């Protein structure tokens, strides 16, 4: 078997109805949803399966919904195969799927902590006038130079280094709006302001991060059984205390996804399995390295297809 990494998607991959198929076909997946409903104190399963979309897309619901669905899909995969990843990573909130898989957090704690994170980020978004935008087809250096100039008037920075040619910026809404025309003039193919409630992965989230650090003090982050390539600097980490510090920093720091995948490839990862709703990470991976093979598991049919392909059938 090729050296495999499991990767977990972040906010933006949600869709009403996600997880219902895996819930109905795997008792192990149903247990994950039941655990999440109990841990959160409300029916996140109902929001995943039935929405409505306006409720699902609220940050306080989106984050635990995506994580729960990813971990339900993981449970189904673990039921059907003994495949063990050599390493794990997750995009933003997807990092909690990685932490669970690596044994850093147990299931209940991973879901509870994600719920805390989501609520605090949602609260911070409502208290600050922030926004985000995707910049397509412009070099990292030009974007950084532009943001440095704009930051003289407030807070604006890079949220996500998603792949070559796709960077997401974040910050005060008036600066994001101002940056759209400037970046287009400098050669960006597209600059698209995103339909998000706040400036995630920016300094506007520092207050949320401080509250988060306080609230997770009592949670136990064990040392990872396998390498977790974390977001803030794309490095391989196994120390539990270090990972606990980094998930706090991650809330207001850039997601270094391009470097994460590149580092995993350098360290010998040969293929990836994206576990959870959508194929966002598979698309980014292909732009990072055209030779990357990324499988996707999001329902029982895709699970069977992946298992068959891995077996060479």
Q: Which residues contact 218 (CB under 8 A, 6 or more apart)?
A: none
Report whether 135 contacts 167 (CB < 8 A). Answer: yes
Q: Is 19 left (phi over 0), alpha (psi -120 to 50) or beta?
A: left
Strand segments (E) across the chain: 4-8, 87-90, 130-136, 156-163, 166-172, 190-193, 227-229, 236-237, 271-275, 294-297
SS3 201: coil
Distances (CA, A) of 222 to 25, 84, 140, 237, 251: 31, 19, 36, 12, 20
Find the catalytic residue in 92, 131, 157, 202.
92
Helix (H, G, I), strand (E, B) or coil at 64: helix
Q: CB 157: neighbour CB atoms within 10 A?
A: 21
DSSP category for residue 128: S
Catalytic hit among 45, 179, 201, 253: 201
91 is catalytic: no
Q: List, in sequence order, every residue forming a beta bridge with 166; answer none if it has no partner.
A: 136, 163
User: Do 231 and 281 form a contact (C-beta atoms < 8 A)?
Assistant: no
**Cα–Cα dist 219/215, whole Å:** 9
Is residue 201 flagged as an active site residue?
Answer: yes
Which sign, positive or negative, has the C-alpha torsion 73, 75, 76, 78? positive
Q: Active-site positions?
A: 92, 201
């Amino acid at each position: 078997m090729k050296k495999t990494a499991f990767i977990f998607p972040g906010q933006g991959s949600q869709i009403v109805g996600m997880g219902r198929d895996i819930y109905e076909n795997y008792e192990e997946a149903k247990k994950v949803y039941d655990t999440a409903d109990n841990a959160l104190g409300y029916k996140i399963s109902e929001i995943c399966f039935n929405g409505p979309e306006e409720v699902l897309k609220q940050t306080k619901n989106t984050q635990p919904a995506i994580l729960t669905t990813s971990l339900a899909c993981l449970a189904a995969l673990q039921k059907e195969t003994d495949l063990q990843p050599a390493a794990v990573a997750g995009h933003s909130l997807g990092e909690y799927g990685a932490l669970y898989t690596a044994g850093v957090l147990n299931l209940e704690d991973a879901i509870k902590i994600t719920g805390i994170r989501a609520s605090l980020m949602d609260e911070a978004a409502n208290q600050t006038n922030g926004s985000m935008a995707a910049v397509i087809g412009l070099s990292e250096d030009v974007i950084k130079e532009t943001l440095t100039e704009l930051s003289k008037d407030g807070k604006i920075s890079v949220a996500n280094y998603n792949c070559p040619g796709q960077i997401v910026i974040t910050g005060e809404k008036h600066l994001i709006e101002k940056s759209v025309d400037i970046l287009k003039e400098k050669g960006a193919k597209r600059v698209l302001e995103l339909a998000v409630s706040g400036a995630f992965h920016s300094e506007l989230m520092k207050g949320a991060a401080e509250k988060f650090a306080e609230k997770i003090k009592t949670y136990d982050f064990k040392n990872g059984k396998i390498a977790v390539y974390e977001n803030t600097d794309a490095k391989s980490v196994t120390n539990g205390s270090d990972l606990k510090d980094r998930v706090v920093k991650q809330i207001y720091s850039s997601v270094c996804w391009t470097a994460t995948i590149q580092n995993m490839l350098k360290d010998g990862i040969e293929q990836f399995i994206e576990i959870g709703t959508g194929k966002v990470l598979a698309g980014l991976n292909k732009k990072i390295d055209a030779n990357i093979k990324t499988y996707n598991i999001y329902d029982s049919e895709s699970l069977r297809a992946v298992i068959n392909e891995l077996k060479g059938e």
